[in-house]
C-alpha cells in the first residue's frame, strides 16, 4: 500500500481492474458497511486526485471509491478516439463498481464525469442510488452566446481565447500555453493560484496526442460515436442534484439548468463560482455532497439538545502541531483562563506531537482529534537537509487543511462551544473567512508572526505568490471582520517586521497594529520561579565543574541533520572546552537510536519539561524556531541558532525578533556543515556576556484576559 504523508488519507485498497484490455487504477477508502460514493473521473486533463479536497471528509462518513479514467493518472492510455466515448467511460465505472464489490453507489461527477454518470444511471438504474453533478459538461443544444466557441478542427491563423481548444494547436503549437489558458478559465475566482498550479501539473502528465483522442471520442470525431445525452437524462430515475457556478467560463450554468430539468433534479447555483467549485469552494461542496448522500441514504440517528441556559461554559482550543512551542504556551494560557473562569470546560482538538505535551498537563483531548490528518508528517516530507520552504510546504498542505477544517466543522456543529481559540490554526481561520455563515461561536485567533514573505531563492514567482496570499488575508479581514472576535499577537508591536505585505499592500507592522491586540510574549513559565536546576544537573551526572550544552531541534523530524552536524563537531568543541558535556534532545519524532554514539554526549528523546533542562544548561544549540529561542532569551542563556534554509519565518520573522532582544548567535547552515566553524561558534558563544532585553513573564495572563472577555 502506498503511503503519502501529504495526503489527507491513504486508501484502504489500491488496485487495478482490466476491462477490454485497458487497465483502470482505482482506490477505496473505508469499509463496505456504509453507503458508497463513487467519485467519477473527469476529462483526462486531470486525474482522480482532483477530488483530493473531498476524499478525506467523505471517507469519514461513507465508503468512497475513486478511479483514474482511461487516458489519465495511473490508468492506461489506449490510442484512438473510439476508445474514449462516453459509453466507454460509463462501462469503466461499472467495471470499477464490480471490482470493488459495490452493488449500489451514489455517483458524483464533475464536468464530463457528470455525463458519464448519466449514462450509468440510465443504463444501470439498479446500480445508482443518486447522481450529484458538478458543473456538468453535457452536450445539450444551447442558444448562441451561451457557450464558448470551440474551433476544434479548424486551422486558424491566430489561436486566441477558446480557439486554443483545437487539436492543431495542441499537437503543433504550444500545448503548455493551452493548459495555462484552460486552467485560468476553469478557476476564474481571485486567489486561485494553487488550483491552477495543480491543474497544470496534472495536465502535463497527459500528452497532447492522448488529450486529442479523449476529446475527439467525447465530442464524436474521428469515427467515434457520440450518443445524445438528453434522451438518457429522461431515463434517469434516481434523485439528482446539480451544482453549477454562475461564472463558469468552461460550461455555462445553462447546461446545469438543462440537466436538472431533463432529470427532474434540483439545482444549486453558486453565485460567482467557476468550473471547479469542488476545489475552489471545497467546504460548501463537501456540505452539499454530504447532505445529498444523507438524503438518498438516510441513516437512523439519535441527537440530544440542551437548553442554552443549562449548557456549561465550553471552549475548544486548537494548537498548531508544527513544533511544540504552541502547545506549551497554549497550556499556560489555558491555565490562566481557568483562573478567570473556574467553571470553564476546555477541549483540545490537536494532534501529535502536541497531544503529548497536553497529556502531560492533564488536558482533555477531543476524540475527534483522531480524525485529523497529520501536519507534521507533511512538513517532514517536504523538507530536505535542514531545508524547508515553509511557505510552499504550507501551500502544498491544502488537502490536509481542508480535511482538518471539516473535522473542526463537525466538532463545533454539535459541541455547543462558547469560544474557539485557534493558535495558528490556519485551516480554521481561512475557511471561516471563506464560509462566514459557519461561525456560531466567539473566535479568537493567535499568532506570533504576520505576513507570508518570499525567500530570495524563490525569485519573482514566489514574491508574487506570497503577495497574493497576503492580499487575500487582508481582503478577508476587511470584508468579514466579524469572523474574528479577537486577534492576538503573541509579542509586542516592535516584534513585527516593518516590511510590506507586497507591492501595493500595506506595511506589516502598521497593519498588525491596526488589527491585533498584543499579549506580549508567552513563555509558559517564570524564569525566576524555576526550582531545582542544581538537582536536575546532578541527575544528569554533571559535576560542579562540568558545563552543559543542550542541543534540541523542536517537535518535528526536520532537524535531524543538524543534530548529526553538532555530533560531528563535538570532538572539536571538547578540545577547546574539555569540561563541556552535551545533552542532545531528539524530540518526539526522531529516534534517539538513529544518532551515532559520541563520547561526552547523552541522547534522549521527548522531554515534556524541556524548559527545565534549558534552565539547567550553560549553552544551547537549537534550530531557528521562535519558542525555544525565546525561552533561552528569557532564561538569559547563550545560544547558537541555525535557521532552516528557505524557511521565511525562521530567517525573517524570528531573526528580526531575536535581533531586537539582542539574543543568540545566528549561524547559517552552510557554515554549520563545517565542524570547525560550528565548534568555534559554540565555544565563542559560551563566553558571551549576556545583555539581552528582558522578556515579559505575564504574557499568558494577558492573553487569557483577552480571551476571558469573550466568555
Name the band, by pLDDT with cuts 50, 70 and 90, for residue 126: very high
Q: Of 150-159, 309-318, 696-705, which range is least confident?
A: 150-159
Q: Which of 614, 623, 632 is nearest to 549 (CA)?
A: 614
Question: Taking residues 113-131, what's their average pLDDT?
Answer: 98
pLDDT at 145 over 70: no
The per-residue pLDDT for 146 is: 52
C-alpha span between 64 and 55 (Å, rounded): 7
Question: Taking residues 272-293, what's their average pLDDT?
Answer: 98
Which has more confidence, 321 or 473?
473
The per-residue pLDDT for 415 is: 73
Cα angle: 435, vertex 349, 389; to 5 degrees? 75
Q: Of 5-19, 118-132, 349-363, 569-583, which range is least confident?
A: 349-363
Question: Taking residues 541-556, what's their average pLDDT?
Answer: 90
Question: Taking residues 562-586, what's their average pLDDT?
Answer: 96
The per-residue pLDDT for 237 is: 96
Question: Taking residues 141-153, what's their average pLDDT?
Answer: 63
C-alpha span between 279 and 51 (Å, rounded): 8
Starting at the edge strand that comes first in sequence, how are the strands of the sheet with 601-604 ordered? 601-604, 580-585, 547-552, 619-623, 639-642, 665-666
Tell me whether strands 486-489 and 517-518 are parallel, antiparallel or unpaired. parallel
pLDDT at 142 over 70: no
Q: Which helix (H) or strand (E) holds 303?
A: none
Residues 6+ apart with CB under 8 A from 690: 636, 637, 638
Question: Taking residues 375-392, what's their average pLDDT?
Answer: 93
Name the band, by pLDDT with cuts 50, 70 and 90, for residue 356: confident
Which has more confidence, 303 or 342?
342
Cα angle: 455, vertex 459, 464; to 5 degrees? 90
**700 phi, psi to nearest 5 deg:** -65, -40
Output the average pLDDT for the chain.
94
**What are the helix (H) ranges across 62-161?**
86-99, 112-123
163, three cell numbers: 480557439
Q: Which of 112, 109, 110, 106 is nearest to 127 (CA)?
A: 106
For CA atoms 475, 481, 485, 490, the dihedral sign is positive
pTM reported for the whole predicted model: 0.96
Q: Which helix (H) or strand (E) holds 701?
A: helix 699-708
Question: Taking residues 616-621, what's their average pLDDT?
Answer: 96
Tens-place pLDDT, residues 199-233: 999 999 999 999 999 999 998 888 888 888 999 99
CA-based R_g, the chain, Å: 28
Cell 468512497, residue located: 64
pLDDT at 144 over 60: no
Q: Of 141-145, 273-277, 310-314, which range is least confident?
A: 141-145
C-alpha span between 639 and 618 (Å, rounded): 9
Q: Which of 246, 272, 138 is nearest to 192 (CA)?
A: 272
The per-residue pLDDT for 149 is: 52
Name the band, by pLDDT with cuts 50, 70 and 90, for residue 150: low
Tens-place pLDDT, residues 58-80: 999 999 999 999 999 999 999 99
Tens-place pLDDT, residues 289-333: 999 999 999 987 788 888 888 889 999 999 988 777 788 899 999
Put residue 702 in one of left, alpha, beta given phi > 0 → left and psi -120 to 50 → alpha.
alpha
C-alpha span between 319 and 321 (Å, rounded): 6
Cα angle: 691, vertex 696, 701; to 5 degrees? 165
The per-residue pLDDT for 557 is: 84
pLDDT at 552 over 80: yes
The per-residue pLDDT for 299 is: 84
Question: Taking residues 606-613, what's their average pLDDT?
Answer: 88
Q: How far does Cα 503 stand from its chain's mean position?
A: 26
pLDDT at 114 over 80: yes
The per-residue pLDDT for 2 is: 60
Name the band, by pLDDT with cuts 50, 70 and 90, for residue 141: confident
Question: Taking residues 660-680, what's their average pLDDT?
Answer: 96
Question: Taking residues 18-30, what's their average pLDDT?
Answer: 97
Amino acid at each position: 500500500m502506498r503511503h503519502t504523508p501529504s495526503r489527507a488519507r491513504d486508501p484502504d485498497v489500491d488496485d487495478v481492474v482490466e476491462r477490454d484490455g485497458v487497465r483502470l487504477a482505482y482506490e477505496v477508502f473505508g469499509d463496505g458497511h456504509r453507503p458508497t460514493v463513487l467519485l467519477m473521473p473527469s476529462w483526462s486533463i486531470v486525474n482522480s486526485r482532483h477530488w483530493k479536497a473531498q476524499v478525506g471528509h467523505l471517507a469519514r462518513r461513507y465508503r468512497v471509491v475513486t478511479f483514474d479514467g482511461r487516458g489519465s493518472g495511473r490508468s492506461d492510455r489506449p490510442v484512438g478516439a473510439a476508445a474514449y466515448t462516453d459509453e466507454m467511460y460509463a462501462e469503466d465505472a461499472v467495471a470499477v463498481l464490480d471490482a470493488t464489490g459495490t452493488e449500489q453507489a451514489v455517483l458524483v461527477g464533475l464536468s464530463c464525469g457528470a455525463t458519464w454518470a448519466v449514462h450509468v444511471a440510465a443504463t444501470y438504474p439498479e446500480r445508482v442510488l443518486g447522481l450529484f453533478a458538478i458543473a456538468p459538461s453535457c452536450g445539450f443544444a444551447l442558444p448562441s452566446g451561451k457557450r464558448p466557441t470551440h474551433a476544434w478542427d479548424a486551422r486558424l491563423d491566430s489561436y486566441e481565447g477558446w480557439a486554443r481548444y483545437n487539436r492543431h494547436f495542441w499537437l503543433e503549437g504550444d500545448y503548455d500555453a493551452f493548459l495555462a489558458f484552460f486552467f485560468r478559465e476553469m478557476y476564474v475566482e481571485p486567489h486561485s493560484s494553487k488550483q491552477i498550479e495543480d491543474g497544470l501539473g496534472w495536465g502535463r502528465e497527459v500528452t497532447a496526442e492522448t488529450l486529442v483522442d479523449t476529446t475527439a471520442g467525447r465530442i464524436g470525431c474521428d469515427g467515434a460515436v457520440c450518443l445524445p445525452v438528453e434522451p438518457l437524462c429522461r431515463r434517469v430515475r434516481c434523485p439528482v442534484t446539480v451544482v453549477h457556478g454562475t461564472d463558469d467560463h468552461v460550461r455555462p450554468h445553462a447546461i446545469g439548468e438543462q440537466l436538472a430539468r431533463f432529470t427532474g433534479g434540483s439545482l444549486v447555483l453558486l453565485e460567482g463560482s467557476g468550473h471547479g467549485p469542488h476545489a475552489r469552494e471545497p467546504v460548501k461542496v463537501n456540505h452539499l455532497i454530504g447532505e445529498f448522500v444523507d438524503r438518498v441514504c438516510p441513516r437512523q440517528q439519535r441527537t440530544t439538545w440542551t437548553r442554552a441556559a443549562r449548557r456549561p461554559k465550553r471552549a475548544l482550543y486548537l494548537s498548531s502541531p508544527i513544533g511544540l512551542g504552541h502547545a506549551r504556551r497554549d497550556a499556560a494560557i489555558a491555565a490562566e483562563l481557568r483562573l478567570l473562569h473556574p467553571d470553564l470546560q476546555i477541549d483540545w482538538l490537536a494532534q501529535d506531537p502536541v497531544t503529548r505535551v497536553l497529556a502531560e498537563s492533564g488536558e482533555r483531548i477531543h476524540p475527534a482529534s483522531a480524525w485529523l490528518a497529520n501536519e507534521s508528517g507533511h512538513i517532514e516530507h517536504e523538507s530536505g537537509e535542514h531545508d524547508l520552504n515553509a511557505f510552499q510546504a504550507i501551500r502544498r498542505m491544502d488537502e490536509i487543511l481542508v480535511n482538518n477544517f471539516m473535522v473542526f466543522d463537525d466538532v463545533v456543529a454539535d459541541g455547543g462551544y462558547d469560544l474557539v481559540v485557534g493558535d495558528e490554526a490556519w485551516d480554521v481561520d481561512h475557511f471561516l473567512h471563506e464560509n462566514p455563515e459557519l461561525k456560531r461561536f466567539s473566535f479568537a485567533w493567535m499568532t506570533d508572526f504576520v505576513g507570508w514573505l518570499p525567500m530570495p531563492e524563490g525569485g519573482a514567482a514566489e514574491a508574487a505568490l506570497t503577495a497574493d496570499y497576503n492580499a487575500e488575508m487582508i481582503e478577508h479581514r476587511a470584508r468579514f471582520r466579524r469572523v474574528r472576535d479577537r486577534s492576538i499577537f503573541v509579542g509586542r508591536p516592535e516584534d513585527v517586521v516593518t516590511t510590506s505585505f507586497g507591492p501595493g499592500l500595506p506595511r506589516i507592522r502598521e497593519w498588525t497594529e491596526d488589527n491585533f491586540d498584543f499579549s506580549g510574549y508567552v513563555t509558559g513559565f517564570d524564569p525566576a520561579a524555576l526550582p531545582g536546576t542544581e538537582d536536575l544537573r546532578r541527575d544528569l551526572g554533571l559535576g560542579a565543574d562540568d558545563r552543559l550544552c543542550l542541543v534540541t531541534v523542536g517537535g518535528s523530524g526536520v532537524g535531524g541533520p543538524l543534530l548529526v552536524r553538532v555530533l560531528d563537531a563535538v570532538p572539536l568543541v571538547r578540545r577547546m572546552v574539555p569540561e563541556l558535556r552535551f545533552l542532545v534532545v531528539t524530540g518526539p519524532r526522531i529516534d534517539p537510536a538513529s544518532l551515532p554514539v559520541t563520547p561526552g554526549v547523552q541522547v534522549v528523546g521527548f522531554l515534556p519539561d524541556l524548559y527545565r533542562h534549558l534552565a539547567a544548561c550553560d549553552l544551547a544549540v537549537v534550530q531557528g524556531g521562535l519558542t525555544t529561542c525565546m525561552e533561552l532569551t528569557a532564561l538569559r542563556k547563550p545560544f547558537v541558532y541555525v535557521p532552516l534554509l528557505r524557511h521565511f519565518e525562521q530567517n525573517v520573522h524570528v531573526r528580526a525578533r531575536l535581533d531586537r532582544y539582542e539574543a543568540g548567535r545566528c549561524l547559517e547552515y552552510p557554515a554549520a556543515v563545517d565542524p570547525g566553524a560550528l565548534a568555534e561558534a559554540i565555544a565563542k558563544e559560551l563566553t558571551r556576556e549576556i545583555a539581552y532585553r528582558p522578556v515579559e513573564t505575564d504574557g499568558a495572563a494577558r492573553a487569557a484576559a483577552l480571551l476571558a472577555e469573550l466568555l
